[in-house]
Each structure stands twice: as C-alpha cells, then as structure tokens.
Amino acid sequence: MLNPLQCPRAYQAVDHVISEITYTTRKKLTDNDQSMDENKKCLSIVDYDPAQLFVNELRTSYNDQAEFFHDEFGGLTVGVLWKPSTHKHGNIDYVKIIDQWNLLGTGIIKEIRTFPERWC
C-alpha cells in the first residue's frame, strides 16, 4: 500500500475515504507541523507524481521478473505478478527482491503485503 500523501491523484479515486485527501487536507497536515518554516509549509508542484515515478522505476528495473499494476488515478496499491520465466531460473530470493522494492520506495510505500503461498 502506498502513502496517500505521496499520491497527488488520490483525490480522483472513487473510494470516499481516499477522496478526502485533497489539497486542503495536505495543507492542514503541513500547517500542524510547527517545525516547518512559514515559507515552506505548502507548495503545489505541478506534474510531479512520486507514486507513478516509483511504479515506472519498478517496471523499468524489474520488467524481466514481474509485472506491475497500478491505477494512476488515485490508486494506493501496486499489484505485482511474478512472470512464469522467473520461476524457471532456479532459486530466486523473493524476499530480497521485495526488500529492494521497499528500499526504492522509501517514503512512498506505507506497507507491503505478500502472499508467499502463491509464489510458486
């Protein structure tokens, strides 16, 4: 699951809980942080989508091992499907690969859920 504050299109989601995450909500969260300088509290950045950049990096780097699925219009999850050819290459350390994804997505990933019984 991705961090909603790193998904600028989360407000476009159909889910009502997710659609509450708007610019105003983000501004309130940053306004509550007293340690931030007044000039740095809330700044809109155009055409910057950390979640989509993360998914694109996964697709580029791990295209030969897995398929990645993400709804770019408010999706907070990234689905991963191991390619069958990955299983043919022998002993793959899936946990290590997932740890690499977690490191790559630091600050963007909220949690990772795995289903090891479905890996083979």
Per residue in 21-76, pLDDT (tens digit) is: 555 555 555 555 555 555 555 666 778 889 999 999 999 999 999 999 998 887 88
Distance in angstroms (rounded) separating the CA atoms of residues 18 and 32: 20
Q: Which residue matches tokens 């899936």?
A: 94
Distance in angstroms (rounded) separating the CA atoms of residues 5 and 29: 10
Question: In the chain, how many H helices and how many E strands?
Answer: 5, 2
Distance in angstroms (rounded) separating the CA atoms of residues 103 and 71: 22
DSSP type of residue 78:
E
pTM of the model: 0.72
